[in-house]
Structure 1
């Protein structure tokens, strides 16, 4: 193994403008290098003195971490993660000089190589962490009990069983052991929070959330309103129970009294509210069923675009599928239709009429409906009438060059739902350029404005309209067929604040775009959602809720969140802060109560409860944390913060967290050159660096404001699995052998770095918002023939493709894997082919999160180097 030459003549670079942002005190020694930033000094690699840095993994066996000294000739690391080379020490700054040899990276690439000579391949690896977790848990059963241990990762396929604690499918906590003292929590800089996905679907082999009648359930706390759960403790032979949320005793009515045996009621196994962490109550009162309202843009520009006919055909096809036989029959669903330009056109679809009647509303300032009857009709009664109207829409004679804004259609749709006193989905098909209202800020003012949050804040008119939609339970979904990357308004503020979304298309001319629209429309129409949602949070009296984050409009009370609609993928984050010291014997109880109206109009209440341990040892808090949960929490919380300070704040939080762990866990035997990380937080640095340099926070040259707003809105609603996959994509090598005997699986991923891509290989790259197939320039011709039906690399064209259907193992296995990945995504993903060396490789480079990114983000190795340097400085 070769070693780089060591040069001791390194001089410290001149002071940088950002160097004053250091959190160090005056008594600390001056920094040996600038604080991390995406701008780094132009260091000469030959002018560095380096020392070996070993990687130390902390285990749960004791308080003392186990370190592993590094020897270049050592071939086996005995299951311990490989050590990391040590930081650079600047002797002219008064720090001790130590210089030894450092292994260089075997791959010479400017984007992969560390500026400080670190070998990226020996740094803590997300791929290795996921692999080890799968070895431990895959195919097994994780029992979720009160004060249970750290659960398996969200990417691990294992069965989750509820035995008193809501499973990680519904709730994941940033730590499963909260500090007893508030001072310990502040010093650790580890956020105390929970990620809740209230309507998550159970996997195969897991039990559904049990449903019980409201009258059959044991009533909860009469003082604070918390629902019955295993967190309640019984006293006086079952005559009273103690509420951990308000610390008060409750008398049990004689009608529901049962004796206790060893502190548990004798009927606890028969009642889910007494034995399970998750259950659902079916309320006696019912509301109106949700409706489906369609709004189609028929302005002159929409007519000229030539897409209106195809849009109407796809809508008609979807309505016909809803009226199909068997389980797909939803013919009782009430459906409405309206069209708009600068006016609103309503349609009376009553079957009593010989033909549909159209009503035109020209005064849209004070919107009033002429009639309500006939605007929403069961699909089975109006399907033929709807098809007739959809066929004739393209024959309309629109007003010349007068387009309506998307807010006009939202206001009209909301008015229909309000007069009908019903929740529902509003699907808007907008084909004209998205207009910019009078209150909307221009895109050019985002980066030059002193109001640093304006890029993520919608105009007041949109926020006000979204609040009305939330009150009514109106979920807005917009399909945009005239997407503008630059200029104009972004139409997504209202949809994302109402549980909907925005899907943009360049055009519907290509077959793949038409197929994507068909799949998106089907997904949107058929997705089951909860409407008129209210999420209440209860926590032990010693703590309070200090923040709630996600895709919703924050209210005055962080304990209660209101949403127009909620699907099974959406997750929210809540942060907890101490009021006083916790009781170590009782732990911490957290309860989420979701009240909603189902699509059929049933009023339901779903309860999720977890009981966590409390510890006086700060190390227990670190040992009970997981990197992917922390990443999800930081994503939801940080994207609500001012943009200018966000990247540095993230870095400071992680630095102080690692410094605190080092203080608590290290002894004098641990040298300053050893990187010390908690066992379950080894992936935190690479995750946080990926978040810091994402396009949302660090735009590239080709990043538009619309793209960043869209990306941000999608990320803040993601669950833990999707968030982790978004910031560390899955890279799967495909077999290129002649027999193709070994097909790829989801467990055979490689690291997200260009050094992992062999020019003679094929790689499938997946994240929730992208699906790429990278083809190396040296792929054997027989492999190209089996997958693309061509044996020449030059015949391949980068861009969206659809793989040909070929009868060989490589083609069959690859298409099955692509189909599996597409089905797990929240949006319809089109496969994009990327040839090695093509200009479109930039879309791939953004996903190689361990490398330097095209937008100027630091590599994982450089970022970890700076974290280590700054953490050491804080320990001094």
Structure 2
């Protein structure tokens, strides 16, 4: 029943499929053949850069490339005919390279085992997490035995120029240095597609598999020849029997409420949806643009854990999926207008990928404006300059250098088209203000810094993002680094140049962050490139008033008639002044063409643990109180729906339908065959049933006070929640306090407390079962995200539970040792987190696609999402606190262009029912020299990308390999830089100013909970830190990696800033070392999610009295989390500074006062990363170790 689908391969990283894994019904469809195999496959053997930084193949994807999808290709992917199996297609097949083949490779193959990045174009439906064990760029053996005395590294045989191997004893001197190792290269394998027959699947069915996933992984891990045994699992599942009897107990909850309703339960919402209302009431000729903070703060995004690149083979949504929606839109646009616009008059089709991307279906040629002639589209490089033949055009379209920059209509209209001679590009560049990448003098970012001699390298304030080497006009137009950031702000021309730099190329994104100003554009025409579907942006070029050229694929497009009108200036004939081409971040109100179904209401379901352990922890009181306070602030409209499920050894549902006198509890005790007792009355309209909801929230904390039930049936409760949410999608919020012990998804303790301080192997970083991942994939297909709140005092196997959020685009909150009374700091943190969680904006049914200039390609994603196709990320929910990372490679030389651009488009449904598209565009220069590459390095972005890659490596290989790879990242990049410098002494460790903090940040990363060894670390704590690495935006992740330390007992009004009529002191940053602490001082450490206020024993009593409210040091309590409001200058300065720090992040950190006898003192001193510990180097020792590796 249904078309044949491609078999999903088994990942080897997070969320590994265990034997008998069953792919969700209707979830996996064939991936389009969007790109041919890279032409660099046989060049730079053993040194092809994308391999250097690639995660193991489940989330390593080959690039989209520059070829354009035609209608035939699109139909092959998305129509109802059976897709091609891998190897049967006559075109190259887009896919992923399996990583398991190198997971058990020996260290002797570190530099010579991998000949190229992708020697074969392969098909695979699994996206990856983690880097390979061996690498020819950042190999494991290059670590001193002094640093890891318990780890031995065998010698490695030498290879060729690019494959030469070195051990920690055989590194050459700087002058003789050759390229040593790639951080995380990938083994090329060929994975043939097999076919899988899908039948509707239920949770209680028996799964029958022909072959074992573990056997497949074992074969992959031993196979270094490039061939992988074919997997041919036929999965037959049974559906849920809807005719089974309802075994439930119906009882009235002991509520007392004045008045009694007499009407029976009535249906809350019909399953038949009405057509979506019109999103724009203005006629096409009168577009409007608003730019208000209110509109900018109405929508939302995502938070959470690890890499979720499940599959490059896309799952088809069970109801409405963002992929299909995107394809509909693209087909719509093709039928309507060759100028790449969309109109609300378009019919709605049933395909999704094109709504936000995909190729342009040329076969549908019904247009409202003429297609550019072939002569325009195929202009030779010897053709005349831009705009030739239009001498009467306005200055904005002419090619002559304008007399003043003001006369140039939009300096952002720059292009490096490969259809034109480079001279034309240079001429345009000249007209833009004389952009030049040749430095007349050495920039500050290249100033050599002697790391072993210069002790004070930390800046006095936070490290700013580097400014791209563009002219001032382009800089003003560029995207904010807070939203869109690249590891290299100067893009190398070739892959070979990137290889020499030994730095990763990637993007750090925070696409849905809260913005105070956001241009919101309401128009029936959204102008996009007809070929690559890029949204028009400030960096396109207008050939004349009627044509513009795409800055990503260089295709010439028509300017639609409506776009000629500027709603801001109310003028006609100046398309280059439209807000879309004056702002690099914009948001479009999309038409119905971007919808597969009418916008669904915002639906919130809370799944609550009410076992004895949960009642003792006391979280229910905090949760119910927060819900009562914020019930009216939940994002949504008049259609918003809400529901509650509780569980212990049974599952309890609550009928809150309007008309009841009090909430009604329905208990289902058959957890092995879970069902919904009254499906139509469990999700109710928030406004219609508000009083019943309040009654339930007031009663819940006391309803289970006397329970002695210690078991937890989390799995069955989640199954019920999935069934309840499937028709509409929405958000499931799960609160769990212990290890699931009953029913589906039950877990057993895997942690050995005696191994928490081990310096050897750290085990069980991956899930113990595939149940939670499979559930997440089912939820993702139904546009439902699962958010997890884990409030546990004991081991709860977060590595397994986290899968429910990682693969459904949810988020994870973790409160170790939570107790409402005994741990007030955690209780306060939960209360503040819930306030943000319940009220922040949210987007539903979202997809995100990243596009880049021709010649660049994306091959790995990091974050919480599901990969529906090679470059399309599915986000069932999207929130403003989530970040993403992307690894990139250079497939084609960029010598014909001086600029490259990246664009991310996020299509989502707001909580108000509007379909919106948020677009960010980033422009960066291309450089041809190695020194320019180093000059543009963004050290914080590099470290954050390496952190994401190290998490993958820890899970797919081992924690020790990930640590070694991080060390080698520093060794190789600094050695490569020093090899280009002259007059260096062997005793010097030199770094460019742009990378002077690189060793310090890597040392901080090695001492972070996610990667540290030799220090007692609970397994759940380590896994949660890894989840944070994968989902935090850069600015918050950097505080977690390298906290900020300030001395606050000497605050003055001399160095201050003014924020909202408030004077905020700005104390200088201090080194994270005990040598900066004094017994007479008070120091504040900002760790991102928590503030530590350390008070010295001899601290001034006046400061203690004014700031802490106690007469002396001895009287300060051990568990102090609040600063009193004292009318004293020192108190006002301190509170103003801490409030300013809190306001800069979404989740409010908890303040913890630390005294010498405080147990939290250990946590504080563990963050002093420049000091030596029993298991790790000091910063100076680390530098000496790095220098030793380079100079050997």
Scaled to the shorter chain, the TM-score interval is: 0.7 to 0.9
Q: CA deviation at 1:239?
A: 4.3
- The change in CA–CA distance for 1:672 and 1:599 in structure 2 (over 3 A counts) is same
From 670, 681, 703, the counterpart of 2:984: 670
What secondary structure does 1:639 align onto?
helix
Taking structure 1 as reference, are residues 177 and 15 closer, same or farther at Cα in structure 2, changes over 3 Å only?
closer
Equivalences for 1:115-134 in 2 at 5 Å?
Answer: 122-123=454-455, 125-128=457-460, 130=462
Is 1:317 equivalent to 2:624 in the alignment? Answer: no
Using structure 2 for the length normalisation, give the TM-score: 0.58
Change (3 A) 1:714 1:595: same
Instruction: Specify the alignment match of 1:760 in structure 2.
Output: 1080
Q: Residues of 1 paired with 2:1157 and 2:708: CA distance?
A: 47
Aligned length: 751
Structure 1 counterpart of 2:729: 422
User: What whole-Å deviation, never above 9, does each CA across 1:325-363 have from its counterpart, x for those lacking one?
Assistant: xxx997763222222223322222222334433333334
Structure 2 residue 488 is matched with structure 1 residue 175? yes
Q: Which of 849, 863, 876 pairs up with 2:1182?
A: 863
Q: Is the 8 A contact 1:149 1:624 kept in 2?
A: no
Contact 1:322 1:331 survives alignment (8 Å): no
Question: Shift in Å at residue 474 of structure 1?
Answer: 2.7
Question: Shift in Å at residue 174 of structure 1?
Answer: 0.7
Alignment deviations for residues 56-106 of structure 1 (CA, whole Å, 9 cap, x no partner): xxx9955879999xxxxxxxxxxx898544xxxxxxxxxxxxxxxxxxxxx
Conservation of the 8 A alpha-carbon contact between 2:715 and 2:746: no
Q: 1:595 aligns with which of 880, 887, 907?
A: 907
Shift of residue 234, structure 1, vs aligned partner: 3.5
**1:489-500 correspondence runs (5 A):** 491-497=801-807, 498-500=809-811
2:1003 equivalent in structure 1? 689
Alpha-carbon shift at residue 452 of structure 1 (Å): 7.3
- 1:702 aligns with 1016
Change beyond 3 A, Cα 1:659–1:14: closer
| CA distance, structure 2, for counterparts of residue 478 and residue 410 of structure 1 | 11
Output the CA distance in 2 between the equivalents of 1:709 and 1:405: 23
Confirm or deny: 8 A CA contact 2:647 2:712 kept in the other structure: yes
Corresponding residue for residue 952 of structure 2:
640
CA shift at 1:622, angstroms?
1.0
Per-residue Cα deviation, 1:401-432 (whole angstroms, up to 9, x for no partner): 3633333333322222213x132x32233355
SS for the counterpart of 2:679 is coil
Contact 1:786-1:811 within 8 A present in 2 as well? yes
Name the counterpart of 1:47.
Answer: none
Q: Which residue number corresponds to residue 659 of structure 1?
A: 975
List per-residue Cα deviations over 1:444-498 (Å, max 9, x = no partner): 4999999978504463111111222323333333344443147797643323443
The CA distance in 2 between the partners of 1:467 and 1:200, in whole Å, is 25
Give the drift of 1:740: 9.3
Cα RMSD, aligned residues only: 4.0
1:627 corresponds in structure 2 to 939
2:529 corresponds in structure 1 to 221
**Is the partner of 2:680 in helix, strand or coil?**
coil
Gap change, CA 1:61 and 1:245, over 3 Å in 2:
closer
Q: 1:161 to 1:835 in 2, by over 3 A?
A: farther
The alignment partner of 1:661 has SS state of helix
Query: 1:734 & 1:646 partners in 2: Cα distance?
Result: 37
Whole-Å separation in 2 of the counterparts to 1:288 and 1:517: 29
Separation in 1 of the partners of 2:638 and 2:1031?
Answer: 31
Is contact 1:165–1:611 with CA below 8 Å preserved after alignment?
yes
CA distance in 2, matches of 1:696, 1:330: 41
Shift in CA distance, 710/682, structure 1 to aligned 2, threshold 3 Å: same
Change (3 A) 1:379 1:621: same
Moved more, 344-353 or 402-411: 402-411
The answer as to whether partners of 1:230 and 1:275 remain within 8 angstroms in 2 is yes
- C-alpha distance in structure 1 between counterparts of 2:1009 and 2:827, whole Å: 28
User: What displacement does 1:14 show?
Assistant: 14
Contact 1:124 1:683 in 2 (8 A): no
SS of equivalent to 2:718: helix
2:726–2:784 contact (8 Å) kept in structure 1: no
- Structure 1 residues 449 and 515: alpha-carbon distance in aligned structure 2, compared to 1, 3 A threshold: closer
Asked if the contact 1:294–1:427 (Cα under 8 Å) also holds between the matched residues in 2, the reply is yes
1:91-170 aligned at under 5 Å gives the runs: 122-123=454-455, 125-128=457-460, 130=462, 148=470, 163-170=476-483
Mapping of 1:688-837 within 5 angstroms? 688-736=1002-1050, 745-836=1065-1156
Once the two structures are superposed, what CA deviation does each residue of 1:515-566 show, in whole Å capped at 9, x if it has no partner?
Answer: 433322212111112222211111122121121112334x374412112222
**Which of 193, 203, 226 pairs up with 2:506?**
193
Instruction: Indicate if the aligned counterparts of 2:739 and 2:796 stay in contact, CA closer than 8 A.
Output: no
What is aligned with 1:7?
none
Provide the residue aligned with 2:605 in structure 1. Answer: 293
SS at match of 2:665: strand
User: What displacement does 1:373 show?
Assistant: 2.7
Deviation at 1:704, TM superposition (A): 0.3
Alignment partner of 1:621: what SS?
helix
| Structure 1: distance between partners of 2:1138 and 2:1118 | 17
Confirm or deny that 1:271 pairs with 2:591: no
* CA distance in structure 2 between the aligned counterparts of 1:341 and 1:184, rounded to whole angstroms: 59
The 2-side partners of 1:469 and 1:773 are apart by 42
Q: Is the 8 A contact 1:149 1:176 kept in 2?
A: no
- Corresponding residue for residue 839 of structure 2: 526
The residue number in structure 1 matching 2:330 is none
Change (3 A) 1:195 1:736: closer
Question: What are the Cα deviations for residues 784-812 of structure 1, in whole angstroms up to 9, with x where unaligned?
Answer: 22233334333334444323332212222
Contact 2:951–2:1029 under 8 Å retained in 1: no
Could you tell me how far apart the structure 2 residues matched to 1:306 and 1:453 are?
A: 29
Q: Which residue of 1 aligns with 2:781?
A: 471
Against the structure 1 CA distance between its residues 334 and 658, is the aligned structure 2 distance closer, same or farther, given a 3 Å change threshold? same
| Gap change, CA 1:561 and 1:777, over 3 Å in 2 | same
SS of equivalent residue, structure 1 residue 380 = coil
Aligned pair 1:212/2:521, yes or no? yes
In structure 2, do the counterparts of structure 1 residues 872 and 241 end up closer, same or farther at CA, with 3 Å as the change threshold?
farther
Instruction: Specify the alignment match of 2:425 in structure 1.
Output: none
Shift of 1:846: 1.6
1:630, distance to aligned residue in structure 2 (A): 1.1
Q: Does 1:535 align with 2:848?
A: yes
The separation in 1 between residues aligned to 2:695 and 2:443, in whole angstroms, is: 73
Deviation at 1:857, TM superposition (A): 2.1
